[in-house]
Structure 1
Amino acid sequence: MSLKIDQGLFNLDFTDYHAILGTAVDADLKEIRKRYLTIARRLHPDSCMTEDISDRQRASELLSKLVNPAYEKLSQEKTYAEYCILLRLKGQQAVKQQETIVLNSDSARLLAAASDIDTSYRLALRNLAEKQYNQLDQAIEIAGQISELNLVYLMRKESRGEAVGTRRTAAPSAGENSTPMRSPTPTTPVRVPATREALIAAYLRRSQEFETKQNFPRAILELRDAIKMDASSSECHSRLGLIYLKTNQNTMAKIHFNKALELDPQDAVALEGKRRLETPTSTAIAPAKGKLEPQKPGVKGGKPDPGKLDKKGKSSSKDKPDNGNGGLFGLFGSKKK
């Protein structure tokens, strides 16, 4: 079973985790968790209602490869904050490329022409989410249709200058007392950064962590992803050049040092990196100090001079060093007498 989704935000090189779970792009954590548990009960091998072996395998694959990773991404504030930045950037990108975007689903086309964006979006989303995992062979197709809804919603909101991506505040349930307590515990709301600088900083932080662990391939990957997002960051180029230098990839190091200095001629990391690249390293070995012992007459390079052999073709005994050892015994010990 192919898990590839090629509609909506997925066509913009973006994994739409909201579409996989069938939740709105501004759903709060309580909604996301409730939706995840509903899907998990339907797909988990212990609670899956289908008896067909292939359907059970398909359900397990959907749960492990799509649903679980989506919930993990959306349920953690740290990763969700970064995800929201990317989500908004994709909305801005879609507005700029709207002439090339083709909508395949009727629900997305209706939303594009709707007067009440929010009501139409949530109604269409609810209808698709209700049947998303009822028929497993249609789960991928419906996720694509939901992603098209999300794409249109983002585009229309962005064209109005309205930010999308921050969680809505969950409304209190009917059984909860909405009256604030007399001495409420102060809380600090989680603020989602509105600029791409925060995401670049996250890439730099992760690359430094991988570099500290000497996981240089992962550090390089983080910095290359950061440069894809912002090619004008001299810090990303200089840091990448430094890691290439550490891994003896001098050509790549030089390219990124030069790019960093082109963007910022005062980049200290790039300046130091270029200095290290351009400093010649001496490979010559200096001769050892001290006097050499004079060779004995008739001995060249520690070997008997062929001109000093006796009549039997052997070197004369006076030219042999008398060390008390001979033959193989010289290797393993003194010759026994």
Structure 2
Amino acid sequence: MQSGLFQLDMIDHHAVLGFSLAADAKQARKRYLKVARQLHPDSLRGASEEQRQLASQLLSKRVNPAYEVLSQDKSAREHEILLKMKQQQLAGSPNLVAFTSDRAQKLLNSNTVEAEYEAAIQQIASQQFEDLNQVDSAVNELSQLNAAYLIKMAKLKSVPAASKPADTASKTTGSPTSQNSARSGSVRPRRSSSILDSYIRRAKEFEAQRDYSRGILELREAIDSHPKSAPCHAYLSSLYLRSGQTTMAKIHMKQALALDPENQTAQTVQAELSAGENPAGRKQTASRSGANAQKAPAKGTKKGKQGGGLLSGLFGGKKK
């Protein structure tokens, strides 16, 4: 049974390896080396052949891939972005995860979150690979703890932000101009919109030069300060798709549609991704592209052969 972050269609690499979300690179490597030694054949000389095979599968199919993601700069950054998005999702809808673990439920009601979280992680991780038949159970409990930790930390971060408007309002009580600005919200939204427009404008300039990586950086900075901007998530998903990073394109496309189901850019990316995953849909999309490009194909040209596949959708589609 899946639990924790696994319920949100996210591979919880931290849970697989058995260390906390707050661990640094040195701690992660130390934990990985310990687990790798524990599952190595030389450490299992007295175990049955079945247990040795199970250990080998755990190491090659789960532990090594998890560490590879977290140890590589690019994939680690992408995973961190995904974690932040899942944290926002959980903060808004905590009931998305069914917390069956007593430790996770206790953490959700704790006033000393970080200390209890670290202690619980260490307790489970210390025995995580002792019984190889119970590894899944331990990983799932660790994943529930990670989900609970993200929810609690999001709540703690939101407290100062929630108190600021009241403090500001009390300080501006004597100023009619300030009161009007605070009530209407006219000053700050306009400034915020201007900042977003600047990011998007620069991203479009880089897109025109086909420098998608720099355009992506611009939009990621925009989302760091404006995480609930559907246009930014949608545009970022489009650039990820153009650069061939379909996983990240899918992540930001889903976020954009969650914020604004009618966003046309996100809908277009969704259609492109669906066509790429479905060979029949991809062939149909390629055929439509060929029909739009030229109404009367040259004699002997096979329908759908021109510009087929996902790459034609990335670089040959309509630009907005």
8 Å CA contact 2:19, 2:28 repeated in 1: yes
Counterpart code for 2:253 = I
C-alpha distance in 1, partners of 2:272/2:147? 39
**Structure 2: gaps spanning 5 or more residues:** 159-219, 277-281, 301-320
TM-score, normalised on structure 2? 0.59
Corresponding residue of 1:89: 85
Corresponding residue of 1:64: 60
C-alpha distance in 2, partners of 1:199/1:70? 26
Corresponding residue of 2:253: 227
Change (3 A) 1:248 1:130: closer
Q: Does 1:137 align with 2:133?
A: yes
Corresponding residue of 1:35: 31
Counterpart code for 1:249 = Q
Q: What's the RMSD between the two structures over aligned residues? A: 3.8
Secondary structure in 1 matching 2:42: coil
Corresponding residue of 1:25: 21
Tell me by how many angstroms 1:206 deviates.
5.7
% same residue: 30
Structure number with the higher helix fraction is 2
Tell me by how many angstroms 1:237 deviates.
5.7
Counterpart code for 1:25 = L
Tell me by how many angstroms 1:96 deviates.
2.1
Secondary structure in 2 matching 1:104: coil
Change (3 A) 1:51 1:118: same
Corresponding residue of 1:76: 72
Secondary structure in 2 matching 1:23: coil
Tell me by how many angstroms 1:112 deviates.
1.2
Deviates more, 1:124-133 or 1:91-100: 91-100
C-alpha distance in 2, partners of 1:229/1:238? 14
Counterpart code for 2:33 = L
Alignment of 1:132-211 (within 5 A): 132-161=128-157, 194=224, 195=227, 207-210=241-244
Deviates more, 1:231-240 or 1:129-138: 231-240
Change (3 A) 1:57 1:201: farther
Question: Deviations 1:46-74 (Å, cap 9, x if unpaired)?
Answer: 33344211110110111111100100011
**Structure 1: gaps spanning 5 or more residues:** 163-190, 211-217, 254-272, 286-337
8 Å CA contact 1:85, 1:196 repeated in 2: no
8 Å CA contact 2:3, 2:97 repeated in 1: no
8 Å CA contact 1:204, 1:222 repeated in 2: no
Change (3 A) 1:33 1:234: same
Aligned length: 226
